[in-house]
Structure 1
Amino acid sequence: MRHGVVGRDEVFDQAWRLLGRPGPVLLEGPAGIGKTELWRALVAEAAHAGWLVLSCAPTEAETELPYAALADLLGPLADRVAELPRPQRVAAEVVLLSGDADETVDVRVVGAATRSLLEAATAANTHPAVLVAVDDAPWLDRPSERALRFALRRVTGLATLASRRPGGTAPGEVPLGLDEGRDGGRLGRVEVPPLDVGALHHVLRERLGVTLSRPMLVRVAREAEGNPLLAIEVVRALQRLPRQPSPGEDLPVAASMHHLLADVLAGLPSESRAAVRLAALLTVPAVVDLAAAGVSTAALDAPEEAGLLVVTPTGVRFTHPVYAAAVRAGIPPGVRRRLHRQLAGLVTDQDERARHLGLCTTDPDPTVAETLTAAAGRWHSRGAPDFAAQLYERAAQLTPADDRDRLGHRRLAAARCRFDSGDFPAARTAADAVAAEFTDDVRAESLLLRAVVAWCGGEAGRVAVDNGTRALAAARPGSALAGRIHAHLAVFDDRPEQGRAHAEAAAVLLDGRDDDHELLAAALVLLFFQEVRLGRAPRTDLLDRALRLEGDEPAWLAGTVPAIWWKAIDDAERARRRLHRMLGRAEARGDEPLQHELLSHLGEAELLAGRWAEAERHITAARELGDQLGTGLVGETWLAGLLDAHRGRLAEAARVAESGLRLADELDDDWCRRIHQQLAGFVALSAGRMVEAAAAYSSLAATIDGTGLVEPLAMRFEPDWIEACVGAGDLDRAAAVLDRLTARHHRLPRPWTTLGSARARALLDSATGVDPGDALDALAAARDAVPPAVLPLDRARCLLVAGIVHRRSRRKLPARQALEAAVGEFTAIGAAAFADRARAELARVGGRPPTPRHLTATEERVARLAARGRTNRAIADELFVSPKTVEANLARIYRKLGITTRAELGAAMTRGDAPTMGDVGG
């Protein structure tokens, strides 16, 4: 009887060992087998060892009391709540009943608060270990279960212990997702076995004070199959018999606990029997509520003596949860409704009263329906939307059929609660049902909800657009509801002209409505952005007004659009600040789908800015989170492939492009096709396969032109397209694309258009035989105009192009200097493929490498005079040296600069290519 648990030494030791290694522990066994006693012993052992124990032991009745279990479990961490971010602090106070929220608590925020508190507990290092222990996990109330499941899958360093009975969860499902933890340890399953005869002897003597003969004890153990709870009830049934059964007679049937308890209840006085039933129907059986129902203290004596109840000064609890469930199951339906009606008139808690009213009312009743609606609103505001959905649905059932307005709005509210709880399939079904049954605004609202469910639930974009369009047709023209629908359609519809029209309509309809300022801000942002995508001049006043309307809270509907715009104009720092601010808010609210989106945007922003280590960190985090959420990984896989291509891992990037293009064909998805065509072109360009790159970029341009897109990020490939066409010898196409790029640059100059157009012009002039001097000057000016930290890769590529053009013009020294500088800059940012291309161009320069020495002061004076057209004699006279000395200096100058004529010397000195004594110090 070590550890105070009879007959469980071996299984206790097994479970305790498992708790000491990574991975959760699950106690399994049928009801009454002794899981709870073993669970309590393990919890006590952990506390004795100095562990911080966070535990809860929910009962079946408490499944209807949102956050009851979570409040018990987080109670020891209440002093840490003040340290949480405000949204999490408010949510935790609601759960712990230490504060009331003046705003609706998002169910995801409760999960985030739970995670933060558990992480703080593990990080404190004030205890040897932190144990999260849940007895009878399948009886967790749904909001507590969801919050704990969210947190336990994400927090490392916890010891986790749970118990369950067969049938408590779906077949093969592990409660709380304990088989998906992050510690890397496997789930440890501990089967609680039946007790042997000797252990049952000790249990019966301790609980009932009886000692059975050996033959009878063996019969009881066999009849109860080693289940101690069943054995106790069998012996109690034996004690009620007038005589002990003879060896040939059957014992009381132990297979049915309900049957055995029916006999126990039948033997109780009628007053006691009523008291037990009332206690079983109360969520939390309090003495004051039982007394209000007419239950005397004396009426509780008999059931307590029978081992059914334990009575405390403030309340009553059943000695085993199975007893309460069996009592409820044995109450006839009519009697149960009568008792619920009695309790509804007595309990003081308004939510408990609403529950009893809902259970005792059978016919439509507007008063009861209104009571349930009010209770549903309270539970929704407290972060229990699934429980609120049930109340709204019950309220709708009790709403008179002729009250169509209230009926429709209650069913719609239930559908919204299903969506808020994350149950997208249920929300989809409910929204479709409401849309099919109702008309006007209720139909429009339900179709809008259906569109939002499609958009957030990963359905095809056209499903969201179709339902949004149907919602718009059902709404009153010119109404605020129509404006809200237009605002959503501006996001759902990726076609620029249609999106612009919806955004403009939303901005008109929502302007001046204070309650819709968030959607108005989104509409203005989208109107600005869709106009830019169509190639119109950016109306930044729209963006500025939207940002003022937002204040400190970016709108979820279009919150990332400003950052996308700033990425497009290479304002990486501003984009970065907004995305990080939004990410912090999303993390505080537990909004992981938004976190996933923001991490992807951050990865792209850092990739464009040449900060590839940061880009990799964000892309990896996005992929891990996307995998955890079960969402598609197309975007972040593409970003990872693009990062591989920039770093020179071209084979890996090519595989991503190929698989992405196959997926795009399967889905007929232009966005997926577009990004992977871009990746395929960039991989081919980086590898120097110009014909292949030109073909890929031509296909990409056709895809984009087909969508009507003109701006912004979609067009960054055009300079690469020109480079590929020049390399492939398709100079006519290169010139046509350059015209497009030049028009884009004149419409809206940005760092990438500045560098890209200058780079493309230099390549095309060199290929068509035009003197590249002006283009090279423009290229150098463009590079100087863009700060090094803005587009480091594009700036380095300008050096590569300068080196190529100089080489083609047979100017070896400037070619070598530009290419060596390009190699250095490519290497510094990790652009391995481009560094290799620059080295290959260096090898093509050929000839004797120029001496690394700079021009001496005399050589510099001779070179400058010679570049001005002075003869050797004139130079000698001016410098007071002999003509032979001038000739010797010129020979050294030509050798150092890699040139052969005075014309080349003049060009070199004009461009400043010649290294001088002044360059040594700089």
Structure 2
Amino acid sequence: MLASQHRSVLDVLKGLLAESAAGNGRLVLVSGGLASGKTELLHEFSRIAAASGALLLSATGSLGENTLQAGMIDQLFHGAGLPAEVSDQVSRLIRRHTVTTGAPRHAEAEVVRDIGDVLLELSRERPVVVGVDAVHLVDGLSLRLLLYLCRRISSARILLIMNEWDLPQSTIPSFSAEVTRGFHHRIRLTPLSVGDIAEVLPPTMDPAAAAVLQRLSGGNPMLVNALIEDHRADPDDPIAAGAAYAQAVMACLHRWEPELLWVARALAVLGEPGSAGLIGGLAKINPKAAERAVEVLTEAGLLAGGWFRHPVAAAAVLDGIGAEERSSLHVRAAVLLYRRGMSTTKIAGHFVAADRAPEDWATGVLRDAAEQALAGNEVAVAVQCVELALRSVRDESERLAITKVLVRALWRVNPSAAALHLPLLREALEKGCLFGQDAAAVVRHSLWNGDVRTASRAMEALTATPDLLNVQTAAELHLTYQWFYGTSRGPHGRFDTASAWGDEARRMTSIWTHGDGEVALVSAENILQSCRLGETTLEVVAIAVLTLMYGGRTERATHWCDELIEEAVRSGALTWQAVLGAVRAEIAFRQGEVVVAAAKAKAALELMQAQSWGILIGYPRSTLLLAHTEMGQYEEGAELLQQRVPDEMFATLIGLRYLHARGHYYLATDRVLAAISDFQTCGRLMQDWELDRPMLVPWRSNLAEANLRLSRWGVARDLVREQIDRLKPIDLRTRGVSLLILAAAGGLAQRTELLREAVECLRTAGDRLLLSRALADLGAALQQLGEADEAKSLICRAMREAEICHSGVMPLRFSRSWTTGPVLPDAGESAEDPNSLGLSDSECRVAELAALGHTNREISRTLHITVSTVEQHLTRVYRKLGVKSRADLPPVLTPSDRRASAGPPGAGSRAKPGMRGIAQ
């Protein structure tokens, strides 16, 4: 596959062949860069010459034979099908030269003359074409034969073609000077142009790809052909550089001077362009030779601007170096860079690549590089540097310095791995040798793993030397305690927090202590504005985001959480991603997005192993359990509860969240007494810890809901009213939940008023799931009061809200999604006998959807039953209700429509299994 440039050269060579055949011998020198197509051109012309009847003699110089005298001569006369007597005659002459080696030069000249005369004699019989490829690699005796011919072919029928590299300076200057002294034709092959490449592209390639191939190959025909071959292997990628390209690169390097391979390896190890001195030092050649090699590789199309044209080329060169040699090269590169005063980041990168740091100064370089990497949020790089430094360190004080950096780095990606290095830090803290965030880290790690005793000892050490912490670190440590233990426990009074940071921290947490919503929200925003990954404690960021969420600023909480997660993803900080992902899941759940909440909680849990979560494992699991419960995925919830959680977790706020979620799961699966036990435990702990704030865990409304299941109406009302009295004005969501349950525990006359207020609270709070239930319950109450139009509108709106929340997961019957007993009549009212209708649960669900206008097929898909089953259910419903069509169905079927008996107030029926409670 020849380009137009090569075809024009062939035309010139054909003309010279005709002239030489007429008795006018010609000498042609073909030069070009490495792998510029000289060999392919010579092969193509050789076929043309042989077809014309000329005698073809060819040879190729090589590095392996350039010390073997007469090696090229032997190729010329033993590979052309000459008569045996001619080959034998030349062999005898070569042997004579071998025997007389070391004799006077005239003896060698006689051998050259006699062999040359044999060739001249052959030209008298027919034209002779002598083609020598890579003449610069030919042995000395053979070169003298070529010079002999050059001086005598002018009247012979000989065409002598010699290919040579077009190098900055000739490798055989005396030969070149002698050859070019006489008449000769010089042909120089230049790199292929875009047009040349476009001519040889296969039909499957877009002609526009020629420009890309020219850029990747530098016009090197061998590399162009390799890229085309890679395209054939992967037609979907028109400019893929794959195995063929990599093999071509290595083939080029191994067929040339060894210095070129050494320089290519030096560049690949350096990973970037370098000075001639640096490259030469790494390749163990002088800078001038390194500079020359770079020029040759650039001309050959492997390099551009001092670097490989394609990453595949650099990777191929690196892969061609043995592991031990590559390690040595990286160590040598590190030493050279260190001597030149280069950045510690570059030097450390080579030690890491070598997987060893034998120099005495290496550990300091690695530690400094790790600090810089952490500052730039390159966590993985930092971990690699300090882990290698720790393996290489000998000095104990340096070991402590390295361990501090390692713990900070590992904390961002694997807290359980960081915990392995804490003993050394604890010992240093007790000796007063640990300061600032490193000192606080000991406390944080201990709290994370539920090791309160160690955290207390660390705090005592910090108290003994107050100067160990600055004001920001002290404030962050206070907030970290509050993340785990709330505002009532922790190291109060141990640090001077009379600072901007301390003031903002106190104001932010006032949302739980005093209900100062606006003040807390402003402080939370201020703290988040000032926080950056790696510079601020993770727990502080999480508290600030949750403050916005509890304060009703869910949009701002979502914005900050998403932004921080994106930053954590960019920097590879898995711990931040996981914890903030758990926070984001809770935000989604409190907005009623249960499917989204489940997905985000699962994703957060998958980012780290369970042991890395420490006691915080209960946080994402709590949200996931609430979401499973809400979606009716009780088997998944049961599996989640079977997974072990640390016992120490139950002494923290995380444990309260977990008990809260587990209680709701028990309530939804009709394990009412187990639910009551969990809710009561929440209440007892919160009161003991002086954390009895419904905004954190509304245990009273939880417990009230469970008591409704046992028909303890008065107890339920008292609990809810006590909770409402303790609510802060900012906590509209908990107020809405409380009103929902209070409405369920009261009579019909008060119910609508309570539910209307609940709807308004939940709408403002932004929880669409609880809002859908409040709307449905309000619709049911209005239906009983005979206000059918408004009731139907509310039910439809509730259905839409629920469908949005569940993303296609159909909630159970609204009017019983949380109700624990029959609708209580007002004084003087009589309860309708439910046995007069006797609809089953499935019949109720089918009838409700039909009344809302759903087709049988839509009902089938929603409830996951067959169309035939839907039709059978509707037939029985029509008969039991005494109606003729779905148009006559009521939009809501109240609990009195069930087969279950409705006892008098205070003795209501228990809810059937499968009925969910309010996930607060």
The TM-score with structure 1 as length reference comes to 0.47
